[in-house]
Amino acid sequence: MQKLPGFRDFLPDDCAVRNYIFARWREVARRYGFVEWEGPILEPTELYKKKSGSEIVDQLFNFTDKGEREVAMRPELTPTLARVVAAHEREFKKPLKWFSIGRFFRFEKQQRGRLREHFQLNCDIIGETALAADIELLALCIDLLRAFGLTENDVVVRISDREFWTDFLRERNVPADRWDNLLQVIDKFGRESREKTIEKLGELADLVLKVLSEGGKSEKLDRLVDGLRDRGLAEFVDIDVRIVRGLAYYTGIVFELFDRAGNLRAIAGGGRYDNLIQQLSDDAVSMPALGFAMGDVVLGEVVNETPHALKQMQQAIAAERKIDIYVVIAKEKHRADALAQIQQLRDHGYRVDYPLTPTKVARQFQAAEDGGASLALLYGDEWPQVKVKNLTTREESLIPNKALLDSVAKFFNVPDSA
């Protein structure tokens, strides 16, 4: 039996990478005062049909359940977040700063950086219109990458403003019901043929293409970059009005994060969606919101391709994998004594391993090395003393078993083993 295309098995090495990514995501989000929440994996298909836009609806993993409901595996979190906030809005003080780490599903053509199942970190701020919130969110996004050892030479955030384009269209008297379609064409610029773009833009083609090639300016975007400059993060960002984002609900500042070399698809993307919560609320609760999602697939590739980030990850994974202590059972008659102390050591938080069945002493020491243990404890003829071996210096000492916990605590610099 083969696994389905675009899905992944996580063998221990893959899980270690995933845990490394999640730990940094969680740690940095907490540094910014975000709190964790989660939604269901399955939602009514209607939730995405309403607001996400046609591209994502075409990619839905959807089916009819046994209760005849039309349901979809979630392709993204934002509609769920809007639904949840609209329903529980009164229970929380604004602004909300919420993050979530979870699995998402899109029926995409499998290619580099794109699978049918991936993990995202979502960070959203709800209930704040001030540009300070956009700056804070971008700083968080950049700091997340810095936590992986990535610098402004490795990654770039391209920032834009949908209002730049809606103002542009309004000034040219383009009816508002055409805006969404035109923004989709701008989003696909460079991915679709030039002829197709020109045909879809119609009478606006010359003007729009001029802005796309020359770039655009906006006072709001300048203020945003200034805010990041105050934090020493301006080198990470470029203003780029070609970014409008594929999802239909964005209303203001939008951004995407890329590797500087430009080899890969976006690492993260997001922006303001000031109308979505109101549109999903029964009593039309108006609630400005902004957020982004960062995916594990492209991020993993960027880390792999950036030697200093890769080294940092490998060292962190090796340190996380290590056990502290290996218990060598040299004489089987002391197995029960050893197990009693293993239990105690584990209760005190040490990572302890030992042979489940009778094993030659040399093989047990090999297992201690393989597991990265710093200490070996040998239970043999010395009992009721235990032979303690420092596996780095090879020094050995005999410790009465009653004093073992204190001795181990001293070795690992644990202040109080009681």
Nearer to ligand HAM (CB atom), residue 37 or residue 365 = 37
Q: Which is closer to ligand HAM, CB of 72 or CB of 77? A: 77
**SS3 label, residue 267:** coil
Quick one: how many helices (H) and strands (E) in the chain?
A: 16, 16
Contacting residues toward ligand HAM, per CB under 6 A: 76-78, 106, 108, 114-115, 118, 120, 122, 124, 247, 266-270, 291-293, 295, 297-298
Minimum distance, C-beta of residue 79 to ligand HAM, in the bound complex (Å): 8
Record the tokens describing residue 82, joined without a space: 């809007």
Query: Which residue number, 76 or 152, has a Cβ lying nearer to ligand HAM?
Result: 76
Whole-angstrom distance between the N-terminal and C-terminal Cα of the chain? 52
Q: At what angle do helices 179-187 and 205-214 cross, to 10 degrees?
A: 40
Residue closer to ligand HAM by CB (options 49, 331) is 49
- Around 294, how many Cα atoms within 13 Å sit in the side-chain half-sphere? 28
Strand-by-strand arrangement of the 35-36 sheet: 35-36, 96-105, 117-126, 289-295, 268-272, 253-259, 155-161, 237-239
CB of 116 to ligand HAM, least distance (A): 7
Closest distance to ligand HAM from the beta carbon of 105 (Å): 8
Q: Residue 122 or residue 341: which is nearer to ligand HAM going by CB?
A: 122
> CA-to-CA distance for 228 and 244, rounded, in angstroms?
20
Q: For residues 236 and 292, which CB has a smaller minimum distance to ligand HAM in the complex?
A: 292
The residue with its CB nearest to ligand HAM is 295
Considering the complex, what minimum distance in angstroms separates the CB of residue 255 from ligand HAM?
10
- Contact between 313 and 20 (Cβ < 8 Å): yes
The residue written with tokens 């957020």 in the block is 291
Q: How far apart are CA 185 and CA 370, in angstroms?
A: 56
Q: What is the nearest approach in angstroms of ligand HAM to the Cβ of residue 275?
A: 13
Helix, strand and coil percent figures for the chain, each rounded to 5? 45, 20, 35
153 has which bridge partners? Answer: none
Q: Of 17 and 298, which has the nearer Cβ to ligand HAM?
A: 298
Q: Kindly state the smallest distance separating residue 187's Cβ from ligand HAM, in Å.
A: 11
CB of 104 to ligand HAM, least distance (A): 7
Identify which of residues 115 and 376 has a Cβ nearer to ligand HAM in the complex: 115
In angstroms, give the least distance from the CB of 78 to ligand HAM: 4
The HSE-up count of residue 42 (CA atoms within 13 Å, CB side) is 7
